Structure 1
Amino acid sequence: MKESALQPEALARALSPAHADLPDGAGAPARLANEKYVESLARILFYWGYPAVNTYGRTSCWEAMKGAGPGATLGLFPGAPKNHTGYLDDYMSALQRKVVTPNNDTIYGACFADLAEDSVVLQTPSQVPPGHYWTVQMADLFTTVTHQIGSASRTPGGKFLVVGPDWQGEKPPGFLGVLRSPTNLAVLMFRCFAARTPEAKAQARSVLNQLGAVPQKEDRPGPLRFDCEASARNKVFPRGLTADMLAADPDLLRHRPVNALTFWDDLQVALDANPRVSTDDAPMAAQARVLLALRAVDPAWRALVDRTTLAANAELHESAKYHQAGAAAGNGWQRQENGGAWGSDWFGRAQAAVIYIYVNDFHEAIYFIRGTDAQGELLQGRYRYTVTFPKGALPPVDRDRGGFWSLTMYDQDYFMVPDSPNGRHNIGTVNLDANELAFASDGSLVLHLSHAEPPEADARANWLPAPAGQFALLVRTYVPTPPLLDGSYRLPDVQKSVAREA
């Protein structure tokens, strides 16, 4: 596509009618037409740019971790200086109230890379037990997955060079390949499966310690070594905030990562740092620069754009609910069928950024969500629910390539239950591998969901505690097989029991 030769400022000037003040209101229709166009454009651009503002805001970890080395930002999240990798050494804490819908199956690592400053060397593990799951998800500024490597694709151990859109050169000798990002900012998310046993978690840490990224200038011959446990111990807090304060009030971190009041200023910063974007995003980036120019020079246009943004933000968050988002996937479940591979689906991508940002490419993992029961009523902790998998009908994931599945419980704001009485936040492979669940005599697996503890022993064995109020469910299926990918496999419905908590 050939871009306009006019600069954004010139195109912005053309959005104001030449003679909007004609006598007797004759210029009003033209003014209204242009206002409607700008209003519509602002709304679409807000959805398009929402993930970019969300992602770029997370680079605040660069400054927070500068001089501190890889560690745990706020003691809860993997963080690191620019182009380095930070790690946790266990599941993300259920107490945190900042990141929505984290999984409770893997140990996380993360690297936010500025590829305009330096390319990044990404190392993959060489010593991995057969069937152990690990992945590196590489996403651009807009959260679109550009590369996904790991056990699912049988990626060998070695090194890759991660480069930006303007990089020119050859693959370094001995490297496995070059991974190019369409934007200067690249997000590398590391996930390493760990069942609920000390041995399984030790195994995950061993794999994670071979997995990471460093600036190219810090690379050296031979394998690099990382230390997820040292990273997790290095808890870094900003001035004025302490671990005791967060323990006393986890909601200190509860705020939306995108501020509608500063959205356009934040988008300007993100685009200035990422002048090149993917071919799917390039036309909208050009339109965004026009709208930014218009907003900068005319207070009336600025007021219209800002008012539209406030409405679009409120509407986005109402549509991005587990009982609204996604397409029907059978038995009351929904899924975003193009998860991670967003293309030009700007609205779906924005919804994902609200409810589960940085989802993997759907070939790597499929996410099924729901907020209602089999009768279409909102899920409530005061009721008892069951999910029954018939014999031989657990989610069909490829265990040989590390596949696993889980059903995770979230409250209505999509955080885990902080005070789970049995310590569970999900049920799935992590429990099966630890021999924690009980199958019925007919071979079925019946999961029990409720706030109150079930009185029956077999129900308690398979109990996933719910919050007292409204809740939502997410089933992750990592390394899905064809029946999951083509939709022929259907998850069982969520059935409400007659019993109700007293």
Structure 2
Amino acid sequence: MSPADPGPAARAAVHRRAVEAVRWGMPAVNYQMMYEASARAGGPGDNQIVFWPGLLDWHNQTLTPNPDVIYVMPFFTTREVGPVVLEVPPAGAEGSLNGSIMDYWQVALEDVGPAGVDGGRGGRCLILPPGFDGEVPAGYMPLRSDTYQGYGLIRSVLRSGSAADIDQAVAYARQIRLYPLAEADDPPETAWVDASGSAFDAAIPYDLRFFQALDRTVQAEPFLHRDRVMIDQLRSIGIRRGTPFAPGPELAETLTAAAADAHTWIDAAYEEVFRPFTPTARWALPALPELITATEAGFEEPDAYPVDARGVAYSFAFFSSKHLGKGQFYLMTIADADGKALDGASTYRLTVPADAPVTQYWSVTVYDRATHTLIRDVHRAGCSSQAEDLTVNDDGSTDVHFGPTAPAGPGSNWVPTDPGGHFEALFRFYGPTPSLYDHTWRLPDIEQTPDHRPTG
């Protein structure tokens, strides 16, 4: 009896490990895609702030971004310069910030703004490199990072959707500063990169490019202790720290197939995330409880490491909050009231009840179900309570319409969809209040309606 051919078994092992590498590496590749998009927008990407001096449109192809705030994204590295200072202004008449500072794996170091470490008073956050054992100067809020690189997602919240208030929110955001602690006595000008003039494509690629990006993350940062088990796993698929990633044709084919299979698994697992927030509607917090707990604990729990849940979450979103629910809260849906997938060729209505549980604003945004990015080539991505031309019903409720054509009448509450695909909807609560959590205020399901009549 001849010995078994090890070829198929070996290929199956590589395929299996490649699928696991996609699940494990998703948040780092997600970061890497944004980092490289920022570098394409204006420079090397290190210790600079990328921003959009206006509301986002579909040219921003990050995962489920918020088009109703001013986005500010500081990208930092402490590798060469040591501790890095991030100054945030105090909240007040000039504006208010909402956001988090994260490491390379998108684990929140702290939140900033009224719901953050500064309590809205502003101040100087000090991002410390791995293993830092030096003295933290007085007057700084230390943020200890396990990685050299990281970024912040900071939102400058609008007072209204008027042009003047958008400009005000931009001017307020521009008070943020980023510079090395070593230069704190005479801080250099912060490098600001306007990313609004071109495409900012950070969507996840489910092919060989995923592993190429994953290799760049492995080369960029040391393995964290919790991830050392992945060293041999990655080596078996051609990714090894200090060695160029150069898969031959057979390995490249296996990796490409594994990326596609991982995508299929992730997409199925994504649908399992939607556990209703209330028993009367399909809206759900788009993150499993075990992931929220692990994230807030910095993935340092001794008996939990929800890699699968984390991989799914960062396949459709970026950013983590140190204290989820304090500054903002999210509900998401992929189905209508009848449980059917939201179809871009159909028309729908969402009635937002009066007295929404927010101190700042609410919004609902639609995304391409296939990519989790803003739908391409549409002029509007969502509807916000801050819109100047929002139509409100006599009882204080607001009807939001979704579909490929505008309904008859005022179009300010209409969100266009792509008739050639499916979509998902994300409802944001900024400054959430108790009636959201005790369910005395409830968001109803999106309902399918008769076809809209085109308005010309």
Q: Taking structure 1 as the reference length, what is the TM-score of the superposition?
A: 0.73
Alpha carbon RMSD of aligned pairs, Å?
Answer: 3.7
* Counterpart check, 1:428 vs 2:390: no
1:277-356 to 2 correspondence within 5 Å? 277=224, 282-283=225-226, 285-296=227-238, 306=255, 309-316=258-265, 318-319=267-268, 325-330=273-278, 331-335=281-285, 336-338=287-289, 342=295, 343=299, 344-356=305-317
* Counterpart check, 1:152 vs 2:115: yes
Aligned counterparts of 2:208 and 2:444: Cα–Cα separation in 1: 42
Residue 448 of structure 1 and its aligned partner are, at CA, apart by 2.2
Q: Structure 1 residues 40, 161: CA separation in 2 closer, same or farther (over 3 Å shift)?
A: same
Query: What's the CA shift string for 1:36-78, capped at 9, x where partnerless?
Result: 77765543332011221232344336765xxxxxxxx17xxxx
Residue 261 of structure 1 and its aligned partner are, at CA, apart by 1.8
* Counterpart check, 1:468 vs 2:430: no
Aligned counterparts of 1:417 and 1:305: Cα–Cα separation in 2: 31
Q: Structure 1 residues 286, 387: CA separation in 2 closer, same or farther (over 3 Å shift)?
A: same
Q: Name the counterpart of 2:152.
A: 188
Query: What's the CA shift string for 1:399-422, capped at 9, x where partnerless?
Result: 2xxx432101233444435555xx
The runs of 5 or more residues in structure 1 that have no matched partner are: 1-22, 65-72, 236-242
* Counterpart check, 1:446 vs 2:446: no
| Residues 87, 109 of structure 1: 8 Å contact kept | yes
* Counterpart check, 1:494 vs 2:446: yes
Aligned residues between the structures: 426
Residue 365 of structure 2: which of 396, 399, 408 is its match?
408
The runs of 5 or more residues in structure 2 that have no matched partner are: 241-246, 300-304
Residue 63 of structure 2: which of 100, 111, 117 is its match?
100
User: What letter matches 2:365 in structure 1?
Assistant: T
Residue 288 of structure 1 and its aligned partner are, at CA, apart by 1.4
**Secondary structure of 1:430 counterpart:** coil
Query: What's the CA shift string for 1:148-176, capped at 9, x where partnerless?
Result: 1212232322212101222121221332x
| Residues 209, 227 of structure 1: 8 Å contact kept | no
**Secondary structure of 2:126 counterpart:** strand
Based on CA coordinates, which of the two structures has the bigger radius of gyration? Answer: 1
1:182-221 to 2 correspondence within 5 Å? 182-194=146-158, 195-220=160-185
Q: Taking structure 2 as the reference length, what is the TM-score of the superposition?
A: 0.79
Aligned counterparts of 2:438 and 2:261: Cα–Cα separation in 1: 33
Percent identity over paired residues: 23
1:96-245 to 2 correspondence within 5 Å? 96=59, 98-118=61-81, 119-126=83-90, 128-129=92-93, 132-153=95-116, 154-175=119-140, 177-194=141-158, 195-220=160-185, 231-232=193-194
1:8-157 to 2 correspondence within 5 Å? 25=3, 40-60=16-36, 64=40, 73=41, 81-94=45-58, 96=59, 98-118=61-81, 119-126=83-90, 128-129=92-93, 132-153=95-116, 154-157=119-122
Aligned counterparts of 1:265 and 1:468: Cα–Cα separation in 2: 33
Q: Name the counterpart of 1:358.
A: 319
**Secondary structure of 1:102 counterpart:** coil
Structure showing the higher helix proportion among its residues: 1
Indicate the larger mover: 136-145 or 31-40.
Answer: 31-40
Q: Structure 1 residues 143, 487: CA separation in 2 closer, same or farther (over 3 Å shift)?
A: farther
User: What letter matches 1:314 in structure 2?
Assistant: H
Aligned counterparts of 1:152 and 1:264: Cα–Cα separation in 2: 37
Residue 455 of structure 1 and its aligned partner are, at CA, apart by 1.7
Residue 107 of structure 1 and its aligned partner are, at CA, apart by 0.9
Aligned counterparts of 1:419 and 1:273: Cα–Cα separation in 2: 35
Residue 273 of structure 1: which of 220, 225, 229 is its match?
220
Aligned counterparts of 2:372 and 2:236: Cα–Cα separation in 1: 37
| Residues 91, 113 of structure 2: 8 Å contact kept | no
Residue 332 of structure 1 and its aligned partner are, at CA, apart by 1.7
Residue 122 of structure 1 and its aligned partner are, at CA, apart by 0.6
Query: What's the CA shift string for 1:119-154, capped at 9, x where partnerless?
Result: 210101036328x43124112222222311212232
Aligned counterparts of 1:461 and 1:302: Cα–Cα separation in 2: 51
| Residues 391, 412 of structure 2: 8 Å contact kept | yes
| Residues 382, 452 of structure 1: 8 Å contact kept | no
